[in-house]
Amino acid sequence: MGPEDIEVVAKRMAQQMKHYLITTYGKTSEEATDGELYRALSLVIREEIMINWTATMHTVQRKKARRLYYFSLEWLPGRLTLNNLQNISDVELVKKVLGYLKRDFMHVMRSEPEPGLGNGGLGRLAACYLDSLATHHYPAMGYGLRYQYGIFEQEVWSGVQIERPDTWLLGDYPWEMRRDSIASIVNFAGRTVEKQNKKGEPVYFLADSEEVRALAYDIPIVGYGYKQPFSAMTLRLWTTKESPRNFELARFNAGDLYDATRNTAVTDVLYPNDKYSLGLTMRIKQEYLLVCSSLQDIFSHYDRIYDTIDAFPDIIRIQINDTHPALTIAELMRILIAEKNLSWQEAWAITKTCCSYTNHTVLKESLEEWDAHLLRELLPRQHLIIEKINAEFCNRVRAKFPEDEEKIRRMSIIHNDRVKMAHLAIVGSHKVNGVAKLHSEILQKNIFPDFHEFFPDVFTNVTNGVTPRRWLMGVNPLLSKMITELIGDKWIVDFEEIARIKEHAGKKDVQERFLQIKLQNKKCLLDVLAESKKAHYGSMVDVEKELFMEGDALFDVQIKRIHEYKRQLMNALQKIMIYHRIRKNPDSVRIKRKVIIAGKAAPGYDMAKNIIRLFYCIGRKINTDPVVGQKLKVIFVENYNVSKASLIIPASDLSEQISTAGMEASGTGNMKLAINGALTIGTEDGANIEMREAIGDEFWPFRCGATTAELAELRQSGKYKPYAIIQSHPDIAEALESLRSGEFAENDIERKIMQSIYDNLLMGSNPDYFFVLQDLFSYNDVQNRVETYYQDLHKWAEIALHNIGGMGSFSSDVSIKNYAKNIWNLEPIPVDHDELERVRREFLESDRCFIA
């Protein structure tokens, strides 16, 4: 498109936006808010996207090809408008459009709410995978839940995390389409009635059950259009909020307010607090609602094309993303036997063929187990099926290991009245994958060794990846432009091309340009944080005390959910050690350092909330200290989400990846930071190991901490004595003493919190479970090395560029191609050009709002 054509199209789009502003809001462009402009803009560009979306769906349907259905309780797509503009190559065009309307492009983009559909890495990974599936034209569809209030919106007042509803749906959300014709009925509780199917096998139906109606909303996921028309996939979300029949008016009128709204509330909040029975019930309801509604929808698609079930195992693939959708196994069996009249063995063969399971954790707390009595009460049919699956599986294990009842007990899906959802997912899937080489090894050797012995060909690895389109091209346009000028633009869809940037890493002019880009990104971050704080807190906060330090400081960043195994506590203790060093001798610290922490603590996780409080107390003292504040700042960025990450990551110099070795499955924040030129200070955990191997030890100077094997030996031998650490390291002892003495506390509550952290590290029968003190000396020593390296900024830039160049295999495109080849056996289906033109022609013929 030439410059004159761009002008014509831009003016036409501006007219279309004015049209929508008047017809939707009754406002002219001068009167409209930034939020109203963003919605009008989204409606304009949605027209082009809907054409390709429709053509993509028609192409896949006509090909009758194998299709993937990705089940995930979490999705974190982030703001979609800018991402969609980028993927259809309209960013510069829209900047010109908003220029005509005298509006700031980024202000309009930032007025978009962020969909509250996830919590952290699990949801963001799923979103990256849909982006890659769409970009590379794989026939796929995502399923999730449309949470009315997200997980929660985090505010931090005086160090206390306050959870408020995430009201992302308060206004119209233009990227979702309500599908009134697509709904499902989900049954809970009731009593089972046994009958026989056409094969003469017992099947169970429900009587006196509780019916919940789930309604579908669709969001188009737009792939990047690289030298061919872009594809668009569907993310379908289920809600119980929009179905009037879920509200029981008779109960409400009788004064039973809770029971009247219990079914409309199923999709209100992600991860209800499972400390309480109500939260446990709601979690099971959410997981089954996702599974049941999505499987009904899959069969609806299938039955429109095929008259028999014969083709189902050939064209359907279902990916179970973590244990939350593990009930897929039981529900698919129920449908095949009760509704499709298959025998048990026929249904089991189809289920095993169609389903695969990704494990994302080694933490026992995250390997879901449900109380068998509660599951039987809520899902009586599925519980009966799980019992039969378990009985048959245990018989198979017993036949192979007749003398080993202990092995059977360990492998049983149901044990001690607990239903182990990971076991169900493993037994019912044809492939089970971990998400990093170390993680997959731990699964096979430590977490599920009996299953690996029994199913040696089932377990595999697919290392996680991130989409470079969102996490480099989207969040860091200045760096992306530099890379494209140096090596071309193929890296956008083939990230292994990024290796060519290493050829330029030693050039002084490239290093200088990289440093200037980093400086601009830092200033942008500080400006947005200052603007946000002033808008939110007004005169109640002294922004300057936190943010005044010049942008040439090292930006030391740890951004992830707050959890003990991620060891934000070790970071906090090391910053206390720096504080003490500066107090004793300001010249002993050779660089300025701005520490940025962000992440949410689960509502019921007291220790995580205490760690947030500790950072607040440390920052309060450091930031106001006239001496220390010249060298060190500590800030906590509240309500961390995709949008905050998009600002912090491009500005980061040092990426904190310091989880206890063996406990982080993979991580993706480590990848996002590395491809934006942050150097990693990290343990040998998760994908850190593979990143180090890919980048090379020469350019990975900040490795720290004990290995998984070393920590396992310490734990098993019982030799780990945290007190011995502080006795041999006075600086660590001084940091711990500052907790016990309340050096950073200003009231009794803060003193009690710091004492509890101290006790957690040193007291009790199993102190310092996450080996914070064990690794603190190594971590602090490597942080001193960071200071040395950062004094030579050009050398730092050279290493950073080599880090970027080594990250080619950590793209979600690579991950998806591995899934497609090794697990799904899925082939790309680009959008058919003739179908695209047919849909476009039909649109233009009926476009009454077309602005000539």
Average pLDDT of the segment spanning 608-613: 98
Name the E strands within 501-576: 554-559
Catalytic residue among 452, 522, 560, 575: 560
Catalytic residue among 593, 672, 802, 817: 672
Please say if the pLDDT value at position 171 is more than 70.
yes
Q: Answer yes or no: do 346 and 275 share one domain.
A: yes
Which residue, of 810, 828, 847, is where some domain finishes? Answer: 810
Instruction: Give the pTM.
Output: 0.95
Q: Tell me, what DSSP letter sits at residue 231?
A: P
Say whether 328 sits in a helix, a strand or coil.
Answer: helix
> How far is it, in rounded angstroms, from Cα 40 to Cα 99?
15
Amino acid at 391: A
Name the helix (H) or strand (E) containing 844. Answer: helix 833-845
Q: Answer yes or no: do 537 and 473 share one domain.
A: yes
pLDDT score at 852? 42
- 313: Cα separation from own chain's centroid: 29
Domain containing 613 — which CATH number? 3.40.50.2000
Catalytic residue among 360, 502, 522, 575: 360
Does 748 map to a domain? yes
Please say if the pLDDT value at position 272 is more than 80.
yes
pLDDT, averaged across the chain:
94
Q: Answer yes or no: do 831 and 702 share one domain.
A: no
Q: Which of 56-65, 202-211, 546-555 has the lowest mean pLDDT?
A: 546-555
Burial class (CB in 10 A: 0-12, 13-18, 19+), 115: buried
Q: How far is CA 794 from CA 272, 521, 593, 754, in A?
A: 49, 17, 18, 40
pLDDT score at 127? 98
Q: Answer yes or no: do 387 and 493 share one domain.
A: no
Average pLDDT of the segment spanning 561-588: 98
Tens digits of residue pLDDT in 705-715: 999 999 999 99
Contact 530, 543 (CB under 8 A): yes
Please say if the pLDDT value at position 545 is more than 60.
no
pLDDT score at 76? 96
668 as an active site residue: the answer is yes
Catalytic residue among 103, 561, 613, 633: 561
Please say if the pLDDT value at position 223 is more than 80.
yes
Contact 511, 794 (CB under 8 A): yes
pLDDT score at 686? 95
> How far is it, in rounded angstroms, from Cα 816 to Cα 317?
14
Q: Tell me, what DSSP letter sits at residue 601?
A: P
Catalytic residue among 533, 566, 600, 644: 566
Q: Categorize the per-residue pLDDT at 226 as very low, low, confident or very high, splitting at 50, 70 and 90.
A: confident
Q: Answer yes or no: do 540 and 423 share one domain.
A: no
Does 171 map to a domain? yes
Q: What share of the chain is helix, strand, coil (3-state, %, to 5)?
A: 55, 15, 30
Q: What is the per-residue DSSP string for 371-400?
A: EHHHHHHH-HHHHHHHHHHHHHHHHHHHHH
> How far is it, in rounded angstroms, from Cα 286 to Cα 324?
9
Average pLDDT of the segment spanning 130-137: 98
Contact 589, 581 (CB under 8 A): yes
Q: Answer yes or no: do 552 and 456 share one domain.
A: no
The tally of domains found in the chain comes to 2
> How far is it, in rounded angstroms, from Cα 425 to Cα 150?
26
Say whether 183 sits in a helix, a strand or coil.
Answer: strand
Q: What are phi and psi of 225, to 5 degrees?
A: -90, 100
pLDDT score at 810? 98
719 as an active site residue: the answer is no
Bridge partners for 164 per DSSP: 153
Q: Answer yes or no: do 431 and 479 share one domain.
A: no
Does 155 map to a domain? yes
Cα Rg for the chain, rounded, in angstroms?
A: 27
pLDDT score at 153? 96
Please say if the pLDDT value at position 653 is more than 80.
yes
Bridge partners for 193 per DSSP: 205
pLDDT greater at residue 221 or residue 5? 221
Cα dihedral 652, 653, 655, 656 sign: negative
Q: Categorize the per-residue pLDDT at 253 as very low, low, confident or very high, splitting at 50, 70 and 90.
A: confident
Average pLDDT of the segment spanning 700-721: 95
Average pLDDT of the segment spanning 695-699: 98
pLDDT score at 311? 97
Q: Answer yes or no: do 429 and 513 share one domain.
A: no
Does 549 map to a domain? yes
Does 426 map to a domain? yes
pLDDT score at 538? 62
Percentage of the chain beyond pLDDT 90 is 89
Does 13 map to a domain? yes
Tokens standing for residue 203: 């099947």
- Which of 53, 136, 58, 42 has its CA nearest to residue 90? 42
Please say if the pLDDT value at position 256 is more than 90.
no
Please say if the pLDDT value at position 430 is more than 50.
yes
- Which of 78, 24, 86, 17 has its CA nearest to residue 49? 86
- Which of 164, 434, 404, 142 has its CA nearest to residue 290? 142
Q: Answer yes or no: do 134 and 234 share one domain.
A: yes
Bridge partners for 157 per DSSP: 160
360 as an active site residue: the answer is yes
> How far is it, in rounded angstroms, from Cα 226 to Cα 231?
10
Q: What is the per-residue DSSP string for 765-830?
A: SS--TT-HHHHHHHHHHHHHHHHHHHTSHHHHHHHHHHHHHT-GGGBHHHHHHHHIIIII-----P
Please say if the pLDDT value at position 541 is more than 60.
no
Please say if the pLDDT value at position 630 is more than 70.
yes
pLDDT score at 851? 47
> How far is it, in rounded angstroms, from Cα 634 to Cα 617?
10
Q: What are phi and psi of 68, to 5 degrees?
A: -100, 140
pLDDT score at 452? 98
Q: Categorize the per-residue pLDDT at 539 as very low, low, confident or very high, splitting at 50, 70 and 90.
A: low
pLDDT score at 542? 59
> How far is it, in rounded angstroms, from Cα 203 to Cα 588?
75
Residue bearing tokens 């193929």: 490
Q: How far is CA 655 from CA 200, 411, 495, 797, in A?
A: 61, 39, 21, 14
Q: Answer yes or no: do 654 and 739 share one domain.
A: yes
560 as an active site residue: the answer is yes
Domain, as residue range, for 797: 468-810
> How far is it, in rounded angstroms, from Cα 73 to Cα 119?
10
Does 669 map to a domain? yes
Q: Give the number of C-alpha atoms closer than 13 A to the C-alpha of residue 525, restricted to the C-beta side.
A: 31
Q: Answer yes or no: do 119 and 215 share one domain.
A: yes
Does 706 map to a domain? yes
Q: Answer yes or no: do 472 and 366 share one domain.
A: no
SS (H, E, C) 59-85: HHHHHCCCEEEEECCCCCCCCCHHHHH
